[in-house]
Structure 1
Amino acid sequence: MLTRETPVVIDGPVGQLEALYLDSAEPQGLALLCHPNPVQGGTMMNKVVSTLQRTARDAGLITLRFNYRGVGTSAGSHDMGTGEVDDALAAAHWLRAKHPELPITLLGFSFGGFVAASLGGRLEAEGEHLSRVIMVAPAVMRLRDEDALPHNCPLTVIQPETDEVIDPQLVYNWSNDLSRPHELLKVAECGHFFHGKLPELKELVAPRLSN
C-alpha cells in the first residue's frame, strides 16, 4: 500500500493551493478532505483531518487534502465562506480531471464540514454523482440554505457529545430539521478535537467508506 502523500500544487480561484495527494495501486474511489477554520489555526495537517485521510487511504481511496487560501503556502487571504468552497471546488476538479472514472467521497471537519457539504451541493449541480459526504463536528450554523446541500448521496454527520467549539445541540437541531435522509452519529464523552477518541472516529468512518 502507498502511504506517503505527494505535495502538489493546484490552480485555485485566487492563486495556487498547497495540497497533498496520495495515489492507490487499486483505487476504490476518491476522497477529498476539507480542514477546519483557518482563523483558528486549522490546516490540512489537523489531526482529525489526518485521521480521516488515513482512514480513507486504508479503505483503498485515492486521497487529496489541501490548504484553503491564505493557509500555509496557498495564495490569497481568508474569506471564511464561499471563497473556501471555491477553493474546494478547484481541488475537486483537479482530482476529477486525474481520475474521471472514480466516485468521489467528501469529508470535512468543523468549518470543513460546512465546506464539504456546500461543495457537495455544487458538484451535484454540475452533474457529479457523489459516493458520500461525511461531516465531522460540522459548523452547521454556516449552512443556512438546505437547498445548497447535496441531495442524491448518503450523508453522515458525526458529532461529539461534549463538543466545546460547536454546540452539540445546534447540530442535533439542524439534523432534526433536515428534510433529506441522513444519519447522525453521536460520540460520547468526546470533545471537538477527538482527544483520545480518534480510534473511535476511524471505526465510525471506515465502514462507511467501504460500502
Structure 2
Amino acid sequence: MIGRPASTLIDGPAGHIEVVVEEPAAKPLGLAVVAHPNPQMGGTMDNKVVHTICRAFVLAGWRAVRFNFRGVGRSEGEWDEGRGETMDLLAVVGHHLSDPDMVGHPLALAGFSFGGAMAAQACARLTEVAALRPGVVAPSELVLISPAVSRFDVPVVPQHTLIVEGEQDDVVPLTHILDWARPQGLPVTVVPGTGHFFHGQLPRLREIVLRHLRGVAE
C-alpha cells in the first residue's frame, strides 16, 4: 500500500508473519494490535477499515501493529478457519510485548469483521491466561468493527468494549450484532446509512474510535 511503512517479518506458529508497525508522535501509551477481515474474501492488513483503526490508535498515542494472517501477503502458512489465525494474532502480541519499550504499558486488541472475531477470541484467551499466570498481559481495550458474529464464534467480551456497526451492513447484519450484544448488555454504536465497509464514512469511523480512546485516557 502506497504511503504506509515497510513491512517486516516475525516468527509465527505457521512460519513468518508479515507486520507493519506505526508509531505515534511521542512515546507510545501502549500497544494496539489490529486484525484484518476474512482472507478467504480478499481481506488483508491493507484494508481501508483496518488502516482507519490504526490511524485512530496512532493519533491517540498508541503504537499500532497490523499484520497479515497466515497465507496472506508474505505471511506463511494456510487458512485454518480461525483456529490458527487466533494463534497468529497471539504471536504478534507476544512478539511486540517483548519490546522493552512496551513493558508495563497497556495492550489493546482491535479487528474488523473476521478480524473482530479473532480479536475477541484472543482477548478471551489472554484474559483467561492472565488470571492464572502473573506477567501475562490481558487487554485493557477491545475495539470491534462489524465483528463477524454470525459466521464465527465470538465469545463474551468486556463491558467497556467499543462495538461499531453500519446500519446497512449486508455482510454482518445489524440484527445479528444486536442479537449477540443484547444478552451481554453491550452498547453498539451504529453509523447510519453505511454498509459493511463504511464507504464514505471512514473519517467518521476514525473519529468514533479516536473519541473512545481519548475518553479512556482521560
TM-score normalized with structure 2 length: 0.88
**1:35 and 2:44 equivalent?**
no
Q: Which moved more, 1:57-66 or 1:24-33?
A: 24-33
- 2:186 is the counterpart of 1:177: no
How many Å apart are 1:45 and its aligned residue? 0.2
Structure 2 counterparts to residues 35-184 of structure 1, below 5 A: 35-98=36-99, 99-127=102-130, 128-142=137-151, 144=153, 146=155, 149-151=156-158, 154-178=160-184, 182-184=186-188
Q: Does the CA contact (< 8 Å) of 1:6 and 1:22 recur in 2?
A: no
Q: Taking every aligned residue pair, what percent have the same amino acid on both sides?
A: 38
Aligned residues: 204
Deviations 1:132-190 (A, max 9, x none): 101101101245464xx454x62111110100211211111111122xx5331111001
Judge conservation of contact 2:31–2:106 (CA < 8 Å) in 1: yes
Letter in 2 for 1:137: S
User: Whole-Å Cα distance in 1 between the matches of residues 154 and 148 of structure 2?
Assistant: 13
Structure 2 stretches of 5 or more lacking a match? 131-136
- Equivalents in 2 of 1:4, 1:192: separation in Å? 23
Tell me if the contact between 1:161 and 1:190 (Cα under 8 Å) persists in the aligned partners: yes
Q: Is the 8 A contact 1:161 1:191 kept in 2?
A: yes
Q: What is the alpha-carbon distance in structure 2 between the residues aligned to residue 160 and residue 57 of structure 1?
A: 23
Residue 95 of structure 1 deviates from its aligned partner by: 1.5
Amino acid at match of 1:117: A
Q: Give the distance between the partners of 1:172 and 1:145, measured in 2 at CA.
A: 13
1:204 equivalenced with 2:205 (yes/no): no
Detail structure 1 runs of 4+ shifted over 6 Å in the superposition: none
> Any conservation in 1 of the 2:110–2:119 contact (CA below 8 Å)?
yes
- Tell me the SS of whatever aligns to 1:80: coil
Cα deviation code 1:53-97 (max 9, x no counterpart):
111111110010000000001001111211110000000101111
Whole-angstrom CA distance in 2 between matches of 1:79 and 1:59: 33
The answer as to whether partners of 1:108 and 1:114 remain within 8 angstroms in 2 is yes
Structure 1 Cα separation of the partners of residues 186 and 173 of structure 2: 19
For the 8 Å contact 2:127–2:139, the answer to whether it is kept is yes
Deviation (angstroms), 1:7: 2.1
User: 1: CA distance between counterparts of 2:64 and 2:169?
Assistant: 27
CA RMSD of aligned residues (A): 1.7
* 8 Å Cα contact 1:124/1:150 also seen in 2: no
Q: Which digits, 9 at most, give the CA deviation of each residue in 1:78-123, with x for residues without a partner?
A: 1121111000000010111112221011110000010110010111
- For the residue of structure 2 that corresponds to 1:126, the secondary structure is helix
Deviation at 1:13, TM superposition (A): 0.5
